[in-house]
Structure 1
Amino acid sequence: MIIPLAHRADQTQEYYFSVKLAEVRRLQAAGHDVINLGIGNPDLMPSDNTIDALIKSAEQPNSHGYQSYKGTPALRQAIAQFYAHTYNVPLNPETEILPLIGSKEGITHISLTFLNEGDGVLVPELGYPAYRAVSSMVGANVYEYPLLENDGWQPDWEAMTDLVARSPSPTKIIWMNYPHMPTGAPASYAHFERAVRFAHDHKILLCHDNPYSLILNRKPPISLLSIDGAKDVAVELNSLSKSHNMAGWRIGWMAAAKPYVDAVLTIKSNVDSGQFKPLMDAAAEALTNSDDWHRERNAVYQGRLDAVHALLDVLGCTYNTDQEGLFIWAKLPDTVESAEALVDDLLNNKHVFIAPGFIFGPKGNRYIRISLCMPKERIEEAVKRLK
């Protein structure tokens, strides 16, 4: 290269799945049948009405130009109606919703909007790697807050208070995600109420990532924004990737009070030029999917869940059966050296790929995560290979 890398590029590692999937492809190219249980890439189709809306919109002459940075009014209205129906949360479609190219884009825009170099960011010690990676890229100081395994993987609020008090610079943002990935811990009103109080008490922006609330949920889904006072201190990210089988469509949004939406829009408008209108039109249609559609999708995942439990039993792992979301989190038996060693052994010798827990934080070295994004028959084939 004719010039050196910027510090952020030099200090940022390639995403783990990017590296590992290259290994999977090499094995497949060599003729091996690899069963990929590692990533959350939904294999089910969006609803038929979603596909029909995409085609119909793409056939319109006015669908192919630039769109508003705030998305179409129809999409914002559909998101507002979805929040009212799903979470009983009222949102103003004109001022409190900002469509995004997936939640990962939102993590970056929020960080660029509110963080100065040296500011503190609280991230869960087990969580989506992008929270840490993006915070570091913008020059913030990342502080991992503990999750209490014996309390359903809920935050250790006393430890978090201590982290804020000891931080040499202002702590500006806390990232949170329930139903939690990777542990599958469900959301609860009591937990969200505590989180909102914490944000108010310490004057920290509470950023909640909420893509899993409709997947294998055993109770009515919850939005953080349903808590009194949440809109004063919080923003919520959501998307259609997992809940509507639309990961590749890159349709998500941020829901928040107008000042937060307006602030993030100043950054977003300098980064992209809006989303493709047929995608937004189809997303608006997807958000009208019936409750029966979601129940049918969850019935498929339940069958796969039973097969994954059988796989974990073969490996001698322990796990909770009340997990929600698209993945199953499991603890390794003492006889297994580490998650990394197990993952490499299964991939190279059994041609089964699962995710090691350490990629979600150092505390995950004794854990693995298995995705439900694979037909039940393939999971059962993986079980046969492991026996």
Structure 2
Amino acid sequence: MENSKWRSRRLDRLGSAIFAEVASWKEEARRAGMDVISLDIGSPDRPPAESVREALAAAVQRPDMYRYPGTEGTPRFREAVARWYRHRFGVELNSEHEVLALMGTQDGLGHLALAITNPGDAALLPDPGYPVYGAGLAVADVEAIPLPLSAENGYLPDFDAVPETDWDKVKFMILNYPSNPLSAVADLAFFERAVDAARKRGVLLVHDNAYSEMAYDGFRPPSVLQVPGASDVAVEFHSLSKSFHLAGTRLGFAVGNREALSALRALKNNIDFGVFLAVQEAGVAALEMDMAGTESVAGMYQRRRDAFISGLHKAGWNVEPPKATMFVWAPVPEGWSSRRFSREMLAKAGVASIPGNAFGARGEGFVRLALVESEQRLEEAAERIGAFLREAEPTE
């Protein structure tokens, strides 16, 4: 297909196809009779709360739910988002101009560069980082400049280390805390530095905050918009997929800088008609449920994290417990490449993961595992991994 006249060269810039490749590995293992424990994709294994499902079911039965919804989101949904931001972060938002509904954060992040840049512009992307960041730039013909993240610096970027020649080209930079795949977190002091850097350099700060409700041990991740004046230079993307287990409904939102949101809305006015109205009603129910004090999903994922990490430590794999997200970022044993280790662990232990280099060059030497199985299955996965580690020898 690479040489087909019907295939755009842009597709060759979209990055790693490892997610599809791992899916094929899983099918191969299942055909061989393997019971596969899928810890590769961060898709929640639980449904949303009953009250949210009931709200969705009731809305689906309403005859007024089937018109074109509009790309900006219903006033009711945008007002719920604004109330939730006030409740959760103490941030005041104008629901008409500073909130935009999305078909999940991937929708907004994938289209943002098309809306706010011109071909030849550049953007700073975290490395390692979520693949859609680079995919959005590839489609928009925007240069991706890696923003190195290392364990030595707590996986936080050093803005002063970015060369001036790069800053001169950059239109926006993307940050993501809590981070996928790194599970790293950042405090408000960091975001103050980030906002200062964005203002000083005249770039838009784009923060992917999809995992703010999945943090552990009492930590409460902040919003970049808590920094005074941040909305002058920042937008924040959020999702109901993980925090409320609404992944399949495709519902998220962007908040913050009016000019950037207006541009994104203008683009989306030409390519889609918005989120199904009944799904937005489910989103309102989820946000209202959270504001009413219902227990979040964080407790469940923390129990899963503790069970899995304990099992991995017993198996002899020294993995750092994540402070947030539904992911474990684990160093592969010495002598292995990320891809080979992930491939062999699936073929011989039946545990699926994603090689770290799928998230950027600096992800080599790691694998990402998702906490999307029950505690019992995660403990079983750790036992299988332990047996694999005792028997396996690196081939590279």
**TM-score interval for Structure 1 and Structure 2 normalised by the shorter chain:** over 0.9
- SS of structure 2 residue aligned to 1:214: coil
> How far has the Cα of 1:143 moved from its partner?
0.7
**Aligned partners of 2:37 and 2:283: how far apart in 1?**
30
Q: What's the counterpart of residue 191 of structure 2? A: 192
**TM-score, L = length of structure 2:** 0.91
- SS of structure 2 residue aligned to 1:144: strand
Q: What's the counterpart of residue 306 of structure 1? A: 306
> How far has the Cα of 1:3 moved from its partner?
3.3
- 1:294 maps onto 2:287 in alignment: no
**Aligned partners of 1:216 and 1:227: how far apart in 2?**
20
Q: What's the counterpart of residue 18 of structure 2? A: 16
CA deviations on 1:334-360 (whole Å, 9 max, x unpaired) are 2x4222111111111111111221111
- SS of structure 2 residue aligned to 1:167: helix
Q: What's the counterpart of residue 171 of structure 1? A: 170
More divergent stretch after superposition (214-223 vs 41-50): 214-223
More divergent stretch after superposition (258-267 vs 19-28): 19-28
Q: What's the counterpart of residue 46 of structure 2? A: 44
> How far has the Cα of 1:290 moved from its partner?
3.4
- SS of structure 2 residue aligned to 1:344: helix
> How far has the Cα of 1:184 moved from its partner?
1.3
**Aligned partners of 2:129 and 2:340: how far apart in 1?**
21
CA deviations on 1:289-313 (whole Å, 9 max, x unpaired) are 2365334x32221221122213432
> How far has the Cα of 1:314 moved from its partner?
5.2
- Matches for 1:1-387 after TM superposition, within 5 Å: 3-13=5-15, 15-160=17-162, 162=163, 165-167=164-166, 170-217=169-216, 218-290=218-290, 292-295=293-296, 297-313=297-313, 316-321=316-321, 323-334=323-334, 336-386=335-385, 387=387
Q: Is the 8 A contact 2:18 2:354 kept in 1?
A: no
**Aligned partners of 1:14 and 1:219: how far apart in 2?**
33
- Aligned residue identity for 1:248: G
- Aligned residue identity for 2:294: W
Distance verdict in 2 for CA 1:14–1:320, change over 3 Å: closer
Gaps of 5+ in 1: none
**Aligned partners of 2:179 and 2:280: how far apart in 1?**
27
- Aligned residue identity for 1:123: L
Distance verdict in 2 for CA 1:294–1:27, change over 3 Å: same
CA deviations on 1:138-197 (whole Å, 9 max, x unpaired) are 11111101224222111022222x1xx123962101010011222211121111000000
> How far has the Cα of 1:4 moved from its partner?
3.9
More divergent stretch after superposition (325-334 vs 35-44): 325-334
CA deviations on 1:248-290 (whole Å, 9 max, x unpaired) are 1110011023222211111011110121111111111111123
- SS of structure 1 residue aligned to 2:52: helix
**Aligned partners of 1:127 and 1:98: how far apart in 2?**
24
Identity %: 34
> How far has the Cα of 1:221 moved from its partner?
3.1
Q: Is the 8 A contact 2:313 2:319 kept in 1?
A: no
> How far has the Cα of 1:241 moved from its partner?
0.7
Gaps of 5+ in 2: 388-396
Q: Is the 8 A contact 1:83 1:89 kept in 2?
A: yes
**Aligned partners of 2:12 and 2:362: how far apart in 1?**
25
- SS of structure 2 residue aligned to 1:154: coil
- SS of structure 2 residue aligned to 1:265: helix
More divergent stretch after superposition (228-237 vs 324-333): 324-333
- Aligned residue identity for 2:241: S
- SS of structure 2 residue aligned to 1:290: helix
More divergent stretch after superposition (147-156 vs 22-31): 22-31
**Aligned partners of 2:250 and 2:33: how far apart in 1?**
31
> How far has the Cα of 1:9 moved from its partner?
2.1
**Aligned partners of 1:294 and 1:151: how far apart in 2?**
33
Report how many residues are paired: 382
- Aligned residue identity for 1:226: Q
More divergent stretch after superposition (275-284 vs 318-327): 318-327
> How far has the Cα of 1:30 moved from its partner?
4.4
Q: Is the 8 A contact 1:347 1:353 kept in 2?
A: yes
Q: Is the 8 A contact 1:326 1:372 kept in 2?
A: yes
CA deviations on 1:105-137 (whole Å, 9 max, x unpaired) are 101221101121111110111110111122122
- Aligned residue identity for 2:220: P
Q: Is the 8 A contact 2:127 2:361 kept in 1?
A: yes
**Aligned partners of 2:150 and 2:336: how far apart in 1?**
23
**Aligned partners of 2:70 and 2:375: how far apart in 1?**
41
> How far has the Cα of 1:85 moved from its partner?
0.7
**Aligned partners of 1:60 and 1:137: how far apart in 2?**
38
Q: Is the 8 A contact 1:107 1:130 kept in 2?
A: yes
- Aligned residue identity for 1:40: G
- SS of structure 2 residue aligned to 1:181: coil
> How far has the Cα of 1:29 moved from its partner?
4.2
